[in-house]
Amino acid sequence: MPCSGKRARLLLDRGRAVVHKMAPFTIRLKDRLVEDGVPQPV
């Protein structure tokens, strides 16, 4: 899900996320596991 620019900067600064792609700008969370994820309804 999208997040605000401020939240993305905080996650990157705290080391909880890494840049995945530059165009479109996408970050990937480092402290989340696939097994723990729950899909959101569409």
pTM equals: 0.73
| Domain boundaries, position 10 | 5-30
Residue 17 is assigned to a structural domain of this protein? yes
Query: How many domains are contained in the chain?
Result: 1
Residue 21 is assigned to a structural domain of this protein? yes
Mean pLDDT along residues 7-34: 93
Residue 41 is assigned to a structural domain of this protein? no
Per-residue pLDDT, 39 = 84
Residue 38 is assigned to a structural domain of this protein? no
Cα separation of 36 and 29, whole Å? Answer: 13
Residue of 34, 36, 19 whose CA lies nearest to 11:
19
Please provide the distance, in angstroms rounded to a whole number, between the alpha carbons at the two ends of the chain: 12
Residue 42 is assigned to a structural domain of this protein? no
Q: Is 2 left (phi over 0), alpha (psi -120 to 50) or beta?
A: beta
Count of other CB atoms within 10 angstroms of residue 25: 10
* Paired strand residues for 26: 21
Residue 22 is assigned to a structural domain of this protein? yes
